Amino acid sequence: MIRHCPEPVLPIVGQALSLANPLKPGPQAEGLPHQKASDRSKRLSHIWVLVLAAQSAMAAAPVITELRPRGAEIGRPFTLTAIGRNIGEGARVISTLPASFTLVLPAQTPGTMAAPGRSASFLVEPRADVAPGVYPIRIESSGISNMLLFTLGTFPEVTEEESQPNSPPNRNDTIETAEPVRSAPVVVNGTLRGPERDVYRVFGKAGERRVFELEARRCGSAIDPVLRILDGSGKQLARSDDAPGASLDARLDFTFPSEGNYYVEVTDARFSTQAQNFYRLKMGAYRYADGIFPLGGRRGERVPVTFFGGNLGADVRSSADLSKTVKTQALTQVALPDSPVLPFGFAVSDLPELMEPVAGEVPIPSVVNGRLDKAGEIDRYRFRVEPGERLTFELQARELGTSRLEGIIAVWDRTVKKLASAGDQPLTEDVFAVQGSSRTSRDPFLNLTVPPDVRELVVSVEDLALRGGPLYGYRLIARREAEDFTLTVSSPYVNVPAGGTAVISVSADRRGYDGSIQLTIPDLPNGIHVAGGVIPREYVDAGNARTINRRGILTITADPGVTLATGQLEVWGEGTLAGGTVLRRRARGLGMTVDVAGATDQGVVDRQRPLTAPWLGWDLPAALTDPPAGTLEVRQTSFKQMAEGARYEFAYKWTFRGAATPPKQVGVDIVGAKDIRVIDMTTSSFAVTTTKATDPGLYDVYVNGRVRTDDGDELVVARAIPFEVTGGAAHVAQ
């Protein structure tokens, strides 16, 4: 990837939407996998920051930074205030929450005036049959905003005094200043302002049993909460950090030893400062589970499930209704019946599903749902295969959030010779292949070509630390075809400026396929154009170094006067195998992205990766927003073949709608290009050079610039320009 960035190119990441299915008033979310290979990670994280900046800078699209409140009790109408910027008049809520949203006009107080576009309030009247859980909230005015999560529960709700507007900080940070909570059940909505703690005083009777639970990561907060119960002297009586079945959230099932006052302390595990810094402290007598089994099921079916552990006493049997999951949805949610606890994640597949124990051979393709019931247990499955077959074996466990398994999968032949394994190998330098920088950031998979004379394989599943128990469930997926890839739209939404261009960034997770991938958005209406989208191939160069190409960028342009209904765009990618077989894969959206501040060094990123919501099953929400301050047109003016490569020159031209100041130079990005340079940048032109080491193939040039207007800076993007490198000679692709 070669970049000239005096004014950096900012990918405006998005996610796919089908315009045939306009967004219902409903949810949205966003996210970006990390790339972590020396300075590559810094490069990608830099891109991510720029991506977010680009989204917020695009025309006057709305942005929401806070919701007040963050939750409400089912059955009660409430007022919801969205706070942010560019929230224009006539704003409406887009949400999957089954409720009516009525815009509330602010009361006019003489001598005062609210900052325009900073907030909007809505009277929310939920339907009586709404289920407890988290729901996405997005604002639409001149375009669509980012998405934040809102929680509906069954308990009365109160707000921490320190979190009230204009409240002084640190008013309940000690036992002496603890805020009293006078009733239960209740949910206290609070915030942590950086390295502080919040303390609440509760009264308990001898032998009384009460559940204390913190909801944070599960409902879109960046806090990694820790929950402690103290006596009057400050002695710790109980502590919870990451509770079973609650992701990184905390839960305590506590019995008061004697009558009196006790103190509930809430902190962040790292005392970090987060933009999304809220929590929900739930107190009451209710049932909860530690886990669910199986961990997933087949789309379109009703799948029997069992909830276990916690304070259930006996297992609770229910079912997961997967009949309404959409095609892109690989994860949904399943709730414990008659409980206020937030639902569990649940995997969704389109393959035949089996339960262990499996009698005889396991068919291919299929999914085996199993569990390591005892410490040190190893599960084994037999597969009938043919020599030369190309297979993929994949494990789903820890990544789903409902298993503690650090999985290892291994493949053996009938002579008990190990043919391959995954999950027990040291990380390669290409850490981006596992979309993170920690050993535990992804479940293992392996690709295998069946050796000659081998017609039966045994696949084993075990835990890296030889652990086992009810929480060590897994899903073993077996498929034919050892060359594949998956695609993720790296942002939750995109606003396309009327008469202008926006950028959509997509990341590829290569599963044995190293060829180039062409991204597209099919079935666009007339007047909406897409360009770019090449993810170049990966290869090992003459220096035995592997290139890493996992990113592609599409530009989407709306002609002046064109209308685009708010809806979802579908992003697809195509790659061609050596034999001519075309792999066509649909990109999945992350639903939302909430940044988590903190270190990103290897081994710690699990707690600091952006929060996403793939269970929403979204592609790429998209809308039309206000026209840009101007447009940027780029064209190639000349091409020259040289002894060591090629040089071709580009000219660019600004056109403005009103008064604006262009940058002195533009930002230029050529995705996936090696030994390509951007040189001779002027106020109207630049040149690109290749060398003999430049890999032949198709590449895209992306150009942008930040324009200064009376209303502030605005990023303007040009349509992508393709060019092809052939044997050291480059020419413009027609």
671 pLDDT higher than 70: yes
Calculate mean pLDDT across residues 479-490: 91
Calculate mean pLDDT across residues 572-592: 93
Cα distances from 439 to residues 191, 422, 466, 550, in angstroms, run 32, 12, 16, 20
Burial 521-544 (b: 16+ CB within 10 A, else e): beebeeebebbbbbbbbbeeeeee
Cα distances from 219 to residues 132, 280, 303, 598, in angstroms, run 12, 9, 25, 19
Calculate mean pLDDT across residues 577-599: 90
Position with higher pLDDT, 612 vs 40: 612
Cis peptide before 365 (omega within 30 of 0): yes
Calculate mean pLDDT across residues 144-171: 94
Calculate mean pLDDT across residues 315-334: 92
**464 half-sphere exposure, CB direction, 13 A CA radius:** 16
Query: Measuring CA to CA, which residue among 53, 599, 618, 593 is closest to residue 276?
Result: 593
Q: pLDDT value at position 117?
A: 85
pLDDT in tens, 252-263: 999 999 999 999
Position with higher pLDDT, 608 vs 359: 359
Q: Please spell the DSSP secondary structure of 94-141, one letter per residue.
A: E-SSSEEEEEEPPP--TT--PPTTSEEEEEEEE-TTPPSEEEEEEEEE
Q: Are strands 344-349 and 296-298 parallel, antiparallel or unpaired?
A: parallel
Distance CA 116, CA 304 (A): 52
CB 710 within 8 A of CB 17: no
pLDDT in tens, 336-350: 999 999 999 999 999
Distance CA 510, CA 521 (A): 20
* Residue 416: DSSP 8-state: -
Q: pLDDT value at position 426?
A: 59
CB 202 within 8 A of CB 181: yes
Position with higher pLDDT, 179 vs 26: 179
At residue 545 the predicted structure's pLDDT band, cuts being 50, 70 and 90, is: confident
Q: pLDDT value at position 26?
A: 33
Q: Are strands 667-670 and 697-709 parallel, antiparallel or unpaired?
A: antiparallel
Secondary element (H or E) of residue 204: strand 197-204
CB 400 within 8 A of CB 296: yes
Share the mean pLDDT of the chain.
86
At residue 672 the predicted structure's pLDDT band, cuts being 50, 70 and 90, is: confident
pLDDT in tens, 435-445: 333 344 579 99
CB 92 within 8 A of CB 103: yes
Query: Measuring CA to CA, which residue among 492, 495, 554, 564 is closest to residue 528?
Result: 564
Which of 3-17, 594-608, 637-651: highest mean pLDDT? Answer: 637-651
CB 84 within 8 A of CB 62: yes
Distance CA 102, CA 719 (A): 39
Place of tokens 């998405």: 147
Query: Measuring CA to CA, which residue among 185, 213, 72 is closest to residue 133?
Result: 72
At residue 497 the predicted structure's pLDDT band, cuts being 50, 70 and 90, is: very high
Q: Please spell the DSSP secondary structure of 370-396, one letter per residue.
A: EE--STT--EEEEEE--TT-EEEEEEE
Q: pLDDT value at position 166?
A: 86
Query: Picking from 40-54, 167-181, 192-206, 488-502, which range would have the lowest pLDDT averaged per residue?
Result: 40-54
Q: pLDDT value at position 22?
A: 33
Q: Please spell the DSSP secondary structure of 261-297, one letter per residue.
A: EEEEEEEETT----SS-EEEEEEES----SEEESSEE
Distance CA 442, CA 438 (A): 8
* Domains, the chain, with CATH or none: 157-284 (2.60.120.380), 353-485 (2.60.120.380), 630-732 (2.60.40)
As a whole-number percent, the residues of the chain with pLDDT over 90 amount to 71
Angle (nearest 5°) at CA 55 between 52 and 57: 110
Question: Token pair of 36, please?
Answer: 């972590």
Q: Please spell the DSSP secondary structure of 63-95, one letter per residue.
A: EEEEEESSEEETT--EEEEEEEE---TT-EEE-
Q: pLDDT value at position 132?
A: 92
Q: Please spell the DSSP secondary structure of 438-481, one letter per residue.
A: STTSS--EEEEEPPTT--EEEEEEEETT---STT-EEEEEEEE-
